[in-house]
C-alpha cells in the first residue's frame, strides 16, 4: 500500500541487500583482476557510502513509495554520472573539458534536493536538472556525437525521477483532501 511505513522487520532485509550489494560491487574489480589501485577502491567506496547514505535518508524522509523510488532514481543517476565521468567520460575521454559541465548539473541537483521540502519541489528540481543535462549533452554533441547522445539518456533518468516525485506530490495532495 502506498504511503504505508515499513516496520523494522521489513526495513532490515532491504538494508542488508543494499549495503551487501554495494560491498559485492566493490569487490568485483578485485575478483575480476582489474588493475585498480588503492585510491580507486577508496574513491568507489566513498561513492557507495554517499549514495547509500543518501538512499537511507530518502527512505526515512517519506513513507510514500513514489517519493522513495524517485529518490533512488535520483541518487542512482547522480552516482552513474560521477562513475561514468571518472571511468571514461560522458563526452569523449574523462579528460574532455565538456565533462566538467556535468559537475554543474550534479551541483544543481544536490543543492536543489537539499533545499527542497516537498515532493512537488523535488519534481521541479529534477525536471530542471533534466533540462540542464540535456543542454550540456547538446553542447557536447559537437565534440562527440556518441557521448552526447549517451548523456541524453541521463536526462531521461532525471525526468523519470521528476515524474515519480510529481506522482508522490499528487498522492500526497489526494490524501490531504
Contact between 76 and 51 under an 8 Å Cβ cutoff? The reply is yes
CA-to-CA distance for 123 and 169, rounded, in angstroms?
8
Does position 105 have pLDDT exceeding 90, yes or no?
yes
What is the structure's pLDDT at 97?
Answer: 85
Does a structural domain hold residue 106?
yes
Contacts of 141 (CB under 8 A, 6+ apart): 148, 149
Evaluate whether residue 104 is within a structural domain.
yes
Instruction: Grade residue 40 by pLDDT with cuts at 50, 70 and 90.
Output: very high
pLDDT of res. 24: 92
Q: What is the pLDDT of residue 91?
A: 86
Specify the pLDDT at position 1: 40
Q: Average pLDDT for residues 8-28, to the nearest whole number?
A: 81
pLDDT in tens, 44-67: 999 999 999 999 998 888 889 999
Give alpha helix (H) positions in 35-144.
Answer: 38-61, 65-87, 100-115, 119-141
Domain assignment of residue 3, yes or no: no
Query: Which residues form the domain of 154?
Result: 8-176
Of 177, 176, 31, 57, the C-alpha closest to 122 is 57
* Mean pLDDT for the stretch of residues 105-118: 95
Q: Does the structure show a pLDDT above 60 at 98?
A: yes
Cell 513514489 sits at which residue?
A: 66
Q: How many domains does the chain have?
A: 1
Contact in structure between 90 and 99 (CB atoms under 8 Å):
yes
Structural contact between residues 119 and 165, judged by C-beta atoms closer than 8 angstroms: yes
Amino acid at each position: 500500500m502506498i504511503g504505508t511505513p515499513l516496520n523494522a522487520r521489513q526495513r532490515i532485509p532491504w538494508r542488508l541487500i543494499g549495503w551487501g550489494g554495494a560491498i559485492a560491487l566493490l569487490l568485483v574489480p578485485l575478483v575480476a583482476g582489474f588493475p585498480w589501485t588503492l585510491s580507486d577502491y577508496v574513491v568507489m567506496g566513498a561513492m557507495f557510502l554517499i549514495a547509500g547514505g543518501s538512499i537511507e535518508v530518502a527512505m526515512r524522509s517519506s513513507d510514500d513509495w513514489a517519493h522513495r523510488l524517485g529518490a533512488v532514481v535520483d541518487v542512482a543517476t547522480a552516482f552513474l554520472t560521477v562513475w561514468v565521468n571518472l571511468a571514461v567520460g560522458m563526452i569523449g575521454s574523462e579528460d574532455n573539458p565538456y565533462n566538467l559541465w556535468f559537475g554543474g548539473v550534479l551541483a544543481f541537483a544536490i543543492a536543489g534536493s537539499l533545499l527542497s521540502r516537498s515532493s512537488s519541489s523535488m519534481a521541479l528540481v529534477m525536471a530542471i536538472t533534466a533540462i540542464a543535462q540535456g543542454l550540456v549533452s547538446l553542447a557536447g554533441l559537437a565534440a562527440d556525437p556518441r557521448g552526447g547522445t549517451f548523456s541524453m539518456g541521463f536526462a531521461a533518468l532525471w525526468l523519470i525521477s521528476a515524474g515519480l516525485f510529481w506522482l508522490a506530490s499528487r498522492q500526497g495532495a489526494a490524501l490531504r483532501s
